Amino acid sequence: MSSPLLAGDQPQSSEKVLRTEVKVATFRVGSDFYAIDILRIKEIIRPIKVTTVPNSPLAIEGVINLRGAVIPVIDLRKRFAVATIVDGRATRIVICLVFRRLFALVVDEVVEVRSYGREELQPAPKFFQGQETDIFLGVAHRADDLLMILDLERFLSLSRMAEFIPPSSAAEDRPAISLL
Give per-residue pLDDT as tens, 6-60. Answer: 444 344 444 455 668 889 999 999 999 999 999 999 999 999 999 999 988 888 8
Query: Does 41 map to a domain?
Result: yes
Q: What is the number of domains present in the chain?
A: 1
Query: Does 176 map to a domain?
Result: no
Please tell me the predicted confidence (pLDDT) of residue 173: 54
Query: Does 2 map to a domain?
Result: no
Please tell me the predicted confidence (pLDDT) of residue 109: 94
Query: Does 174 map to a domain?
Result: no
Query: Which CATH number characterizes residue 137's domain?
Result: 2.40.50.180
Q: How far is CA 92 from CA 1, 37, 45, 109, 138, in A?
A: 33, 17, 6, 6, 23
Query: Does 171 map to a domain?
Result: no
Q: What is d(CA 21, CA 153) in angstroms, rounded to the nearest whole number?
A: 20
pLDDT digits 0-9 by tens, 112-158:
999 999 888 888 877 655 556 678 888 998 888 889 999 988 888 75
Better-scored residue on pLDDT, 14 or 161: 161
Give the distance from CA 22 to its chain's centroid: 14
- Put simply, whether the predicted model's pTM sits higher than 0.95 gets the answer no
Domain encompassing residue 101? 21-164
